[in-house]
Amino acid sequence: MNDVKSYTPPFQIGEAMQGGAIGVVVSSNDPSFNQGDEVQSFLGWREVFNIPAAMLQKLDTHGAPSQAFLGALGMPGLTAYAACCGWPP
């Protein structure tokens, strides 16, 4: 939240909170996304937004809860695994 060198800019008052997010496609003009598809992005926390399809990644949960991809099965989990287990070898 501080204005220091980081991989992400500091939070801005009045702007959407930045970070990983999971969402559901409401409608799409791109054939690779269907209504109801779950998607993930690093575009921030928003109720609704319109974005080019190339900026989203379709989420295949393999039966896991989608919110797990914001934690243990996402970037935080990979970071913890790498710190713990010395990945990459």
* Residues 10, 47: Cα–Cα separation, whole Å: 21
9 secondary structure, DSSP code: P
Give the per-residue pLDDT at 49.
86
Give the per-residue pLDDT at 35.
95
- The answer to whether the CB of 25 falls within 8 A of the CB of 33 is yes
Task: Express each pLDDT in 8-64 by its tens digit.
Answer: 777 888 887 778 889 999 999 999 999 999 999 888 888 888 889 999 999 988 889
Give the per-residue pLDDT at 44.
80
> Minimal CA–CA distance to 17: which of 43, 50, 44?
44
pLDDT band at 86 (very low <50, low <70, confident <90, very high): low
> Minimal CA–CA distance to 43: which of 66, 21, 10?
21
Neighbouring C-alpha atoms within 13 Å toward the C-beta of 9: 9
Q: Is the pTM higher than 0.85? A: no
